[in-house]
Amino acid sequence: MKNRASLTAEYMALFRALESLRAPTSRLFNDSFAGMFLSGRRKWLYRMARFEWGRRLIEGLLDGAAPGARVAGIARTKWIDDEVTSALEAATQLVLLGAGFDTRAFRLPAAARAITFELDHPETSLAKQAAQRKAIGSLPDRIRFVTIDFNKQSVTEVLAQAGFDQTQPACFVWEGVTNYLTAEAIDSVLRQIRQSARDSILLFTYIDRGVLDHPEQFFGAAKVMARLRQYGEPWTFGIHPEELCAYLADRGLILLANLSVAESWARLGRSSSGARGYEFYRLASARVP
């Protein structure tokens, strides 16, 4: 789990770094921090991508090796960026559940007005903090790093110890995590979020349950799932999209949005490039009533 989680976080950082090298008129977001987390082959690829021809070549190689993965990473980043910005118009706290190398606390203007709690495994969190300190020096007090094992520890308890204010609404971001957890762990986290401040917003990703049983029916699924089996860390949890509303309602949450990264990508106007995202990888938002 430790090595795979770190590698997954690095590839997501690479996808964001490549997108940020595009011209300001064509890129969907700008993450100037993403490159600092890269190592080995991924760092070398990023350096080559500073040239326009290099970026196009590398994007093509990545899309060939793992069809849909880069586009899924870009589409989900853009959608969550926009949703976080909207949620922080009212919320005063940002909670990143399984933060990985997420840099929203630094790069989103709206996050500068909020207290951010970054929850993650110790190894990934420490690596991230070390890279950030090396690049920018001391880290802002408004960003609090909290270590956690989602399968064993209580989100409510670790947040309380870090100074989370239950009287103030928050925006929770749970990106790229649920598909690696147990059903019991996900149920526990959702019920704990339900007990947070009213009108808090949850933004999360999940996979269509159907892909776990029939990966051959979904674009790009067979390749990515075969690779995960080689890592010894297969996906463990998914939800049928049509059942999500009732699933969240059973846990006291109100579904607001439910779409695939492929749909999100199509709305962004870049489908003409020929690249496509995963239909089985999905984006959702919910509200604490």
Residue range 44-77, pLDDT digits in tens: 999 999 999 999 999 999 998 889 999 999 999 9
* Residue 101 belongs to domain spanning: 67-287
- Domain membership flag for residue 57: no
- Domain membership flag for residue 48: no
- Domain membership flag for residue 26: no
- Domain membership flag for residue 31: no
- Domain membership flag for residue 240: yes
pLDDT for the residue numbered 273 = 65
pLDDT for the residue numbered 272 = 61
CA dihedral in degrees (281, 193, 79, 111; nearest 10)?
-150
pTM of the model: 0.93
Domain count, the chain: 1
CATH number of the domain that 247 lies in?
Answer: 3.40.50.150
- Domain membership flag for residue 56: no
- Domain membership flag for residue 133: yes
- Domain membership flag for residue 44: no
